[in-house]
Amino acid sequence: MMNTSQLEIAKVPKATTSKISGSEAVIRCLLEEGVETVFGYPGGAIMPVYDALYRHVDRLTHVLVRHEQGAAHAAQGFARVTGKTGVCIATSGPGATNLITGIADAQIDSTPIVCITGQVPSHLLGTDAFQETDVVGISMPVTKWNYQVSKPEEIPYAIARAFYIANSGRPGPVLIDITKDAQFGELDFKYEKCERIRSYHPYPILDESKIKEAADLINQAKRPYILVGQGVIISGAQKELIAFAEKVGAPMASTLLGLSAVPVSHPLYVGYLGMHGNYGPNVLTNECDVLIAIGMRFDDRVTGDLDRYAKQARIIHIEIDPAEIDKNVKTTVAVNADAKQALVSLIKKVNSNQHDQWIEEFRKCEKTEQETVTRHELFPKSGEIKMAEVVRRVSEMTKGKAILVTDVGQHQMIASRYYRFDETQSNVTSGGLGTMGFSLPAAMGAKMGKPDRQVVAIIGDGGFQMTIQELGTIFQNGIDIKILVLNNHFLGMVRQWQQLFFDRRYSFTELNNPDFQLIAQGYNIQTQKVDKREDLDSAMKKWLDHKGPNLLEVIVEKEENVFPMVPSGESVSNIRLK
């Protein structure tokens, strides 16, 4: 995290053009950065910016959300599928604080967004004026950088740095808070994109000696194992990753946010890591001899009990953020570098190899998982509809090529396990923060970012109601997303833990839900409801083929549990299959 004191704000260059208002400068800065879409909600302290925006609607699309949290999540969805910086705008006070959840989510999941907030006039700062909140202070722990503008001439300088910081190195959220008098004031406008900031070095210099050390370990390995994180996607290293894995003959497993970096069909891809990941990728972590972690941070959901995590292995960690190296897991070789740069160099130094017997151990684990869990979830012969069979049909009907935007909970884990990703940058979800309500607004942003791709939002009935008002945004803007609500009338993941670890004391997790069909109809969104297995295929085809937004509600098994599962605080070797 960076703060204002770490960045020396230089003097603003002398202007060479005519004067414009600060609010007009904000819009021109966005246009100079190539921004075409922003998500926001107007209010008193940001009203001058919205007045300036009114004159630029032919060049800048503004999506009016129904809640500022939705604006932040939409900006995240846009950023995750495009690699560009998402932008959201809000007013002061509650407008700004409503962004905080999305900002925190973007921070932990390394998503580049620039948030612009209005603020009370500078002479009222600190007086508890109407809708005044110290958003710079509040957001400091969850932003990569933030800055308060109190003079109009600071606007171009601050916004240029905001975009550079947000999407360089390890990406993250940046917030620019602009007082109302700075928006009304005038400046001589000149915009220069930021390409360098003294004391900020987002791209480490690759240490070739570390690459050689890593290559030597890999060349000696008998059971090498590659863990694929989101850093691979952020750096655009998908092809290099596959070339590296194929050369050394090592199996690859993905973290939650690393999903879609590698096609699921790739012969060296062995599955999904984590608390509810696949059996083999978890168990065999404690049997590899060299662990190669690329662009991931060894989150507790991946490692389980750190005292029992990969103690037998020599660990190579390729990571752009030095703060993540040796933070949780002690490395043998630390390569502080951009993933793509490191892989390009590493490919040249590793030997061609094959590890067929080692990969066969993953396949044996896969067969065990199929017999115990998978076939019963994907192909149930009776009983209530299961979440996995619904996801399987979505995967088959979209041929694994849709952008999948999941909320948080059981359905998220099921979708991550069973959707067969075939294209990269196709998985959008809330990982580190685990934000319920993420999916619906993030799917809006994803579709705005990639209008030519099919976007499917998979949501539980609990998370759906946290941001359900964004159906209004979808309706007003005609955003063509396909919404799948898996309804089990429970806060499913919490209920599962209550069943397994709290003797079935279901304390306030059962939901008496409203009629989602009527709500969707109220927003003029086409909708269907399915509660019988024999009706599922025809309903899903109609849902996916419809032109425009469409909601499909599927009533699924009420007390279904998600397995495999690594109990909290346990070793990954003790993953439960039932």
**Per-residue pLDDT tens digits for 266-320:** 999 999 999 999 999 999 999 999 999 999 999 999 999 999 999 999 999 999 9
What's the pLDDT tens digit per position in 147-164? 999 999 999 999 999 999
467 lies in the same domain as 346: no
Instruction: Return the active site residues.
Output: 68, 130-131, 180, 493
Q: Is 345 exposed, middle or buried (0-12, 13-18, 19+ CB in 10 A)?
A: buried
CATH number at residue 300: 3.40.50.1220
Residue 466 domain-assigned? yes
Tell me which residue of 496, 488, 505, 510 sits closest to 563, measured CA to CA.
Answer: 496
237 and 133 within one domain: no
Tokens encoding 329: 């897991």
Q: Which helix or strand (DSSP H or E) is residue 271 part of? A: strand 269-272
CA–chain centroid gap for 252, Å, is 21
Paired strand residues for 253: 227, 271
CB neighbour class for 298 (10 Å; exposed up to 12, middle 13-18, buried from 19): buried
CATH number for 39: 3.40.50.970
User: Is 573 contained in some domain?
Assistant: no
Same domain, 422 and 550: yes
pLDDT of residue 61: 97
Asked whether residue 88 falls in the same domain as residue 233, the answer is no
Residue 567 CA, chain-centre distance (Å), reads 24
Q: How much is the pLDDT for 18?
A: 76
Q: Is the domain of 417 the same as that of 486? A: yes
Rounded CA-CA distance 126/471 in Å is 37
Q: Are 300 and 232 members of one domain?
A: yes
pLDDT higher than threshold 60 for residue 483: yes
Q: What is the pTM of this model?
A: 0.95
The answer to whether residue 395 is domain-embedded is yes
Q: Confirm if 103 and 138 have CB atoms less than 8 A apart.
A: no
Coil/strand/helix, residue 201: coil
Domain residues for the domain of 64 are 4-188
- pLDDT exceeds 50 at position 427: yes
Both tokens of 298, joined, read 């060894």
Lowest-pLDDT choice from 5-19, 24-38, 119-133, 365-379: 5-19
Higher pLDDT, 232 or 4: 232
Q: Are residues 322 and 175 in the same domain?
A: no
CB 148 within 8 A of CB 182: no
115 within domain boundaries? yes
Quote the distance between the C-alpha of residue 493 and its chain's center. Answer: 20
Cis status of the peptide bond prior to 564, with omega within 30 of 0? yes
End-to-end CA separation in angstroms for the chain: 41
**pLDDT band (50, 70, 90) for residue 14:** very low
Q: What is the pLDDT of residue 381?
A: 87
| Model pLDDT for residues 44-97, shown as the tens digit of each residue | 999 999 999 999 999 999 999 999 999 999 999 999 999 999 999 999 999 999
> Which two three-digit tokens encode residue 476?
């007003």
Q: What share of the chain is helix, strand, coil (3-state, %, to 5)?
A: 45, 20, 40
If one counts the domains in the chain, the total is 3
**Residue 532: predicted pLDDT:** 96
DSSP-derived 3-state class of residue 214: helix
Residue 342: inside a domain, yes or no? yes
In degrees and rounded to multiples of 5, residue 114 shows phi and psi of: -110, 120
Q: How far apart are CA 450 and CA 454, in angstroms?
A: 8
217 and 177 both lie in a single domain: no
Q: Is residue 259 part of a domain?
A: yes
